[in-house]
Structure 1
């Protein structure tokens, strides 16, 4: 039952350097459940029992967190091959700290943490590789979360927009790109209101910093954007 998912998993960080045949053997050993979710259906709910490390096999999902006031903050967007739940997999917490909802019809495989770290009856090399990949994933995610905390500490809407756009510029290596999310999702991601985001984007276009058409963004003056966050 796992054969059709092995190729997708082979492209994930968790299964890096593990060949497809070994992945199939690992899955037969781990026996992780695979679940399908409809659009807008919750995959996990904040406070529910932790069910294992999730990997998106098909579809997309949104990671959200509610603050004490009940306001939703989008933490991350998940696409095919993306992983979630790894930060709490080896903690003493037994419940999900965030909610994850399907953005469209989505298929997810859950790897139980006790089976990942438990003794493998076959003592296979690929299982050891999986554990090492898991340690690397957790370490790198911790570094990214530290950066995320710094990112969210920015006060003005303009600083947040400039920082996000410059990160996309550095990542893609070009001043014109397509946003990976719509305006509502971007507003949630930056922790600002949709009207404030639209208003500031309009001002930045009028002042010659950027240009945009729908989801396509052009950074007209990269140096000036860097000055905003300096």
Structure 2
């Protein structure tokens, strides 16, 4: 278990002996979860800072219109719960479940407080909190300030850059894309049809070609 922990960049500069008493005291522990398992429900209390060792997780929020808005996806090396562990509010605002079998390293508040005495750990920890806050701000902007059309086109442009082509293959299903954008599937399909009718895109299953976008 110590080999797994020291392979994580956040802990790389801490001496291995620092982990042994925390493991013995169950302040650091590994736990496996099956695909489809809900790791945390909305309003569950956050008691640990978690790091994904393997597998993938999705964070979503249920909207008033009944759709589920995907906020984040976590995979190996990603961290969650740190912003809640030391905050005034210790409950999860979203639901988190496993997209695949996953292994999670759970770290208690007591253990994190111990690690924060190390300067390198503290600086990396702060950097991670800052990055998570930036991602959340981007998601809030998407949900509140832009139209569905603008969000669709922004997503398609991002994929075009990542795939180095104006003809892209959606890496997720249209159902997952609707969840990511926080809308019902009919709304997504209707706007995609409008964009196609206006000649801005061509659609063939999960392949979308951007025309002068």
Question: Same fold by TM (over 0.5)?
Answer: yes
Any conservation in 2 of the 1:30–1:116 contact (CA below 8 Å)? no
Match of 2:192 among 181, 201, 214: 201
Once the two structures are superposed, residues 30-86 of structure 1 have per-residue CA deviations (whole angstroms, 9 ceiling, x without a partner) of 532211111111111222221312222111111122346765332112222222222
Matched, 1:3 2:28: no
How far the C-alpha of 1:23 sits from its partner, in A, is 7.3
**TM superposition score normalised by structure 2:** 0.81
Q: Which residue matches 1:106? A: 102
Deviation track 1:155-209 (CA, whole Å, cap 9, x = no partner) reads 5321220122233445666544443422111101111111221232233234332
Q: Please, what TM-score do these two structures have when normalized by structure 1?
A: 0.76
Q: Does 1:39 align with 2:35?
A: yes
Correspondent of 2:175 among 177, 181, 184? 184
Whole-angstrom distance in 2 between the partners of 1:56 and 1:160: 29
Q: Residue 139 of structure 1 aligns with which residue?
A: 130
Matches within 5 A, 1:1-230: 1-4=1-4, 6-7=6-7, 9-10=8-9, 14=10, 18=12, 22=14, 24-25=16-17, 27-28=19-20, 30-31=22-23, 32-67=28-63, 71-118=67-114, 127-154=118-145, 156-169=147-160, 174-222=165-213
Unaligned runs of 5+ in 1: 223-230
CA positional deviation for 1:89? 2.5
Preserved CA contact (<8 Å) 2:67 2:182: no
**SS state at 1:33 partner:** strand
User: CA-to-partner distance for each residue in 1:74-133, whole Å, 9 max, x for gaps?
Assistant: 21122222222222122122222221101111111122233222367xx6xxx4212111
- Asked if the contact 1:116/1:131 (under 8 Å) is kept, the reply is no
Asked whether the equivalents of residues 5 and 57 of structure 1 are also in contact (C-alpha less than 8 Å), the reply is no
The alpha-carbon distance between structure 1 residues 28 and 185, as it changes in their structure 2 partners (threshold 3 A), is farther
Equivalent residue pairs, number: 209
Would the aligned equivalents of 1:38 and 1:106 in 2 still touch at CA under 8 Å?
yes
